[in-house]
Each structure stands twice: as structure tokens, then as C-alpha cells.
Amino acid sequence: MKNMQIVFLMWLLQFAAPACTAPDVVISPPGYDLSKPKIYKMPSVLEEISGIALNHGKTDTIYAEQDEEGKLFYFHLGDTEIKHTKFSKRGDYEDVAISNGLVIMLRSDGVFFTFPLSEIANKDAGNVIEQPGLLPQGEYESLYADDKNHVLYALCKNSSADKDAEVISGYVFLIGSDGKLTLKDHFSIDEKAVASLAGKEKIRFKPAALARNPVTGQWYIISSVNKILLITDAKWKPLNTYPLNPSLFFQPEGIAFDNAGNMFIASEKGNGNAGTILQFTYQKK
């Protein structure tokens, strides 16, 4: 009888073991906890939020756009009412940058739209400059403006040339005071190095958002396709990758930092559900 009890106990422990396993550990960049964001739900008008930006790293106003209407939205986190100004017709708009009194919008086909930030006081923005042909043919979703040096960075999401070369191409533009952009330089990120850091032989890394961390000077790049956050050094050398939990990051397509290093990631939800902005507080070591 005693032996039968022991056998029964071993059988019971075998089936109970999975319930006792430790939960998956969330790996986060130094200074952040990707498992514990402060979550801001967006109103229905920003269900498909696809890009965010701050002006001079200040959080008094968040600037955003969604990928269907030619409108710039602006609000304070927690606001229930969202203001906007229209700058163009409907289209697939993917990112926004604010630099020295200018708004820069990026359409997915690589066309830029710039106008004075002061125009948000109007229902329809005036003095809008549409600038096609500055980027090679491809799909683009990532934009970042460097206020101090008056330059703009754009990353290619998808192009046949990049696929063949296994690189991610980037472009640097000078931002004129009149809103006109001039190509200054270009660079590339080694996709094979990204795959190696992610523990894969090959990877579909498709940049959907780009920002520079003001504390570390490193680049933070999000690929929504496979839910990965890539960090590179100042010269675009890949340093590490971090998986993003799909339950929190349903479709992450926007990223920004404030002056204190706090990180904000915008995520589309779709299907009638609210988009979100997730705030990750920077913790000094």
C-alpha cells in the first residue's frame, strides 16, 4: 500500500509541475522595465496611431498622427479631447518629427511634408511644403529630428536593394529654416548583426519607429513586424535586441524620449480597440 502511495504522489507531482514553473522573465534595456509601463489609452480617432514626437523633449504636448488622415494631432497625456490640424489629403502617413518650430511628416512612400508648428492653431495648416523624390523608392516609417544640429534621420523599412544587401538603409537631411530638406549623408545598419543578436540565422527587421536616447546617445529602433527593439550605438552599430510582448505592444509604430530619458512607445490596436501610448520611466543605476 505504501508503494502505491509513493507512485501516486510521483504521478501527481509530474502533472502539477508545469503550474509551478517560473513566469517568463522580461529582458529590458538598462534603466527600463518593459513589463511595467504606465498605459495611456487613446481615443478612437487615434486607434491607428503610427508616430509620436515631442518638442524639445518636453512632455507638455504629444504630437501624433495616424496612418490614414493627413492630420497632425496634439494633446497632453491623459486628455480625453484631442486637437488636430489638417495638413494634406488622406494617405498612408507613418511618422512625425518636430524641430525648431517646424513639423515634419513622413508618408510611407518617402514623401515629406513640412509646415510651421505655429500653424496648428488653424483648422487647416498653411505654408505646407510637399517634398517628393528625396528618398530612394521604398517604404518608410521611421523619422527623428535632431534639434541641436538641425538634421533629420529617416530609415527605410522595405526596399529590394536593402533586401539583397542585407542592410537597413538610413538617410540624413539638413533642415532648412524654411522647412526645405537637403540630403546630407546616408548610412546603413548590418541586418546580419541584428539577426545574430536576436539569436537567429536571418531576421525580418523592418523599422517602424526611431528615436535617440538623450541619456545614453544610443539609437532605439522598433520593428513592429516581429516585435523587436534594437539598440545601436551612435554610429549605428547594433548592440542588443529586446523582444516586445505582443500583449502590451500590439503593433508598436512610434517612439520618443523626453529630456529625462523617459521612453514613450505608441502602439496601434485596430479592430475598434484603443491605441495606446506606453510610458517607461527611466531609472538611474
pLDDT in tens, 71-94: 999 999 988 889 999 999 999 999
Calculate the dihedral angle through the C-alpha atoms of 235, 168, 216, 227, rounding to the nearest 10 degrees: -160
Q: Which domain holds residue 105?
A: 34-280
pLDDT band at 101 (very low <50, low <70, confident <90, very high): very high
The pLDDT, as a whole number, for residue 19 is 39
Asked if the structure places residue 15 within a domain, the reply is no
pLDDT in tens, 151-183: 999 999 998 888 888 899 999 999 999 999 999
pLDDT in tens, 215-228: 999 999 999 989 99
Asked if the structure places residue 57 within a domain, the reply is yes
Asked if the structure places residue 97 within a domain, the reply is yes
Asked if the structure places residue 28 within a domain, the reply is no
What b/e sequence results for 101-113 when a residue is b if at least 16 CB atoms lie within 10 Å of its CB, and e otherwise? ebbbbbbbebbbb
- Whole-number Å distance between alpha carbons of 40 and 276: 6
Asked if the structure places residue 161 within a domain, the reply is yes
Which residue is listed with cell 523617459?
262
The pLDDT, as a whole number, for residue 10 is 45
- Whole-number Å distance between alpha carbons of 155 and 107: 12
Q: Is the pLDDT of residue 18 over 50?
A: no
Asked if the structure places residue 21 within a domain, the reply is no
CATH number, domain containing residue 43: 2.120.10.30
- Give the total number of structural domains in the chain: 1
Asked if the structure places residue 268 within a domain, the reply is yes
